[in-house]
A and B are shown apart, each in its own frame.
Chain A
């Protein structure tokens, strides 16, 4: 059984059908990168996986459990699925430490005595141990995004979703975030990423999924997909992304 099973998912916003029957499996430990033009439904699919959006028809299962906005243990479920956004979404009124420890404390994952150590630990993993007492806005975009990743890691998730996490960053800050993600990939984290970083997709992903017009258009290993795209849509996408 795959960790994530997506079966024929449809999703409509108003009159626009964003997902037109998407099916996709992601195995435990797998790194799957979703690429495609804007509007192809990549981010929506990602948001459906942790029930930020509900699907109209079809089914999403994670660890065998049916995912939807009214699932009985939604909160517990979300603690196991981390998501990192393009806009970081750190809590601006809290210092870095509190940003990280707020959810683990409130959900009873850890107690007060362990909180600081937890923050130190996850910050070390994203290379920001020295920023524990900083305010979010004192950090660069790349640092904020790494704190956002650390905040997810503090919940010890089984699955991480990344929604264009480098798209809002200055080019020179992209690398530091990708490096952190690469390290996580090496440690065996299951990851689904929506990204425009073709280099990263090529080097780190186990599988690349090309979405086009709300469907999974083509998928396969990076080597195969980049070298021999089967569809003209993917070929032209790759050409334009270069």
Chain B
């Protein structure tokens, strides 16, 4: 046993890199996929709608831990290929993000009145122009609070990656706590760091909401 020192402090912050890296990877790959899923869900092609709904439903009903296990431990078993840990977590978090953000954004898109599409169509705009300039901006504002809510979930959800050996914030906390025998201090610090990560997001979302809603 030793006392809590600057080294421990630094190691917690160093581990924060992984937390952030995982979030960035999940968003970078998951968000475009989510947009595709959301658009597929509101498509006029029934088959596509069903396929997207099935995909989302499947991913959503598997626990995130299950996804991580599946891609890291399951792939070698089922397909006989050893997947690097970083690839496994990226795929798992990407799918997780895509499924949940996709549903959030679909809700936003559907909340914009059908008549708005029609008004655009009547002015001679293409379907893409209607989406890009009329529907998406309105849907974005409607979806912002749940989107940021999901981001906060995602940040905390990265702690599960420790299962596959990633020393991210939560895992680093465990290590430091075990070494220093000061769990209360350590976990309070870990909690404070998570809080410091999530609070600006929430504040940013509020200001963005106000700005996007220029009319009020």
Contacts and interface: CB of A to CB of B under 8 A. Distances in A.
B126 A135 contact: no
Interface in A49-89: 50, 52, 75-79, 82-83, 85, 87, 89
Contact of A137 (B113, B121, B215): B215
Nearest to B139: A93
Given A93-B137, A106-B133, A135-B215, A151 B115 contact: no
Q: Which of A50, A82, A87, A89 has the most CB of B within 10 A?
A: A89
Interface in B193-216: 212, 214-216
A88 to B, nearest CB: 9
A92 B215 contact: yes
Contacts of A78: 121-124
B119 A135 contact: no
Given A85-B115, A87-B115, A137-B215, A155 B137 contact: no
Contact of B215 (A102, A107, A136): A136
Contacts of A93: 137-138, 141, 212, 214-215
Given A78-B121, A135-B215, A138-B215, A89 B115 contact: yes
Interface in B74-95: none
Given A85-B119, A91-B119, A75 B124 contact: yes
B103 to A, nearest CB: 22
Contacts of B133: 102, 106
Contact of A50 (B122, B126, B141): B122
Interface in B87-130: 113, 115-116, 118-126, 129
Contacts, number: 64
B134 interface: yes
A73 to B, nearest CB: 10
Majority DSSP secondary structure for residues of B touching A: helix
A180 interface: no
Contacts of A76: 124
Interface in B129-164: 129, 133-134, 137-138, 141
Contact of B125 (A77, A103, A152): A103
Nearest to A84: B122
B142 to A, nearest CB: 10
Nearest to B126: A75
A140 to B, nearest CB: 15
Contacts of B212: 93
A166 B49 CA distance: 38
A52 B214 contact: no
A155 B122 CA distance: 10
Contacts of B134: 91, 102
Interface in B12-28: none
A92 B124 CA distance: 19
Interface in A113-147: 135-138
Q: Which of A78, A85, A93 has the most CB of B within 10 A?
A: A93
A11 B115 CA distance: 21
A52 B122 contact: yes
B133 to A, nearest CB: 6
B116 A89 contact: yes
Contacts of A151: 123
B118 A107 contact: no
Contact of A135 (B116, B129, B214): B214
Contacts of A79: 123-124
5 contacts: A75-B126, A78-B122, A93-B215, A136-B215, A151-B123
8 pairs of A and B residues whose beta carbons are closest in the complex: A135-B215, A103-B123, A79-B124, A89-B119, A78-B124, A75-B124, A89-B115, A83-B122
Interface of A: 50, 52, 75-79, 82-83, 85, 87, 89-93, 95, 102-103, 106-107, 135-138, 151-152, 155
Given A87-B115, A89-B116, 11 more contacts: A50-B122, A52-B118, A75-B124, A78-B122, A89-B119, A91-B138, A93-B138, A93-B215, A103-B123, A107-B123, A151-B123
